[in-house]
Amino acid sequence: MLATLVDKPFHQPGWIYEEKYDGYRILAYKEGDKVTLLSRNNNDRTHSYPQIATAVGKVPARTLLLDGEAVAFDRHRVSRFQLLQQGSPASYAVFDLLYENGEDLRKQPLSDRRERLQSAVTRNARIFISHRLAENGLEAYRSAKEKGYEVAESEGQAGRRIHHRRLHGPCRST
């Protein structure tokens, strides 16, 4: 799901706050040896990011559906959309596991999906699990801003409810 804009940074118990990446939203689908990368408009992007497809192909699960973002980082490890457009090497920041080995996980709480994601995906140069910020939303916002995430003043965090099913998307402040 796409982020919903909110008026200002917030803290809400039961939410997690993650780094917001500046890249292309990608669903990665693996079935056996075949990997397909799809944009949010359902366009096949597998050939655009072969290094990501290769990394997803190495995940041990027979079948899976990952939700994440294709990103390219500058020398300060801040994602920059323009670097992707210039053809810089892309990595895949994964923030959700929606399907694994025949099991639809979308109705499970995010906390459970995140736990399964951490078991399924091993970090390497081309795939990693999205970085969590502080547990307090306002502290997460301050931390993101200090680290230089995003150019817009308040787009450094994305928040999602940890115990909710995948019915609502993340939020970001405007």
Catalytic positions are: 20
Strand pairing partners for 34? 31
Which residues have CB under 8 Å from 41's CB, separation 6+? none
Alpha-carbon span 116 to 118, nearest angstrom: 5
118 vs 115: CA distance, rounded Å: 5
The phi and psi torsions of 39 (rounded to 5 degrees) equal -75, 170
Write the single-letter amino acid at 153. E
By C-alpha distance, which of 75, 8, 65, 13 is closest to 34? 65
Q: What is the number of residues in the chain?
A: 174
**Cα distance between residue 169 and residue 78, in whole Å:** 23
